[in-house]
Structure 1
């Protein structure tokens, strides 16, 4: 009784926080002890930033010429491969297939694959 705790709902597109205080254990009684807050800051923001990064590297014109299915594969490769495997301790390079993108060694795009380090 008297303890407070925070509930965090971190979804793919939003993160929401709310704080509660325990008033009674039997029966359980809790009350909100701070105004909840949240925002658009989920992991989907990483996907959006990655797509913007690729557009910047290859140019808007080349990016827009890519087939929709190839863009989708690229984003899924990033989301389910790179993003989910990455940790702060990671030392390996990650790669994402960029089917239809011209090679650019300066940007580490070789054989339709970009190396992310």
Structure 2
């Protein structure tokens, strides 16, 4: 999973859109950022499927949409293309949006859930 998060963290265009990329429970509560969490859904010793859930948070609906679209363009694989040597496939499997008022700021959240198929190194 570190490879996938590194792809997001090292992208200059995404860095220009957000103040940071944080695991769930860390980082600023009122900033334009990405908050993520993940877990392993299945593992047969050869391949594993991880689930990555991200929230793209912006002060406008347009900003949150731009953040999530950039993340999708970095992560989604097309056809038989691999993301990395270890990450074989990334596909979106859900999403949504919500609006929340925090103090005097309105925050817009675009959510996406990704299934990540990867090789298991044992």
Q: Taking structure 2 as the reference length, what is the TM-score of the superposition?
A: 0.32
Computing the radius of gyration over CA atoms, which structure comes out larger, 1 or 2? 1
Higher relative contact order (CA 8 A, sep 6+): 2
- Normalised to the residue count of structure 1, the TM-score between the two structures is 0.33
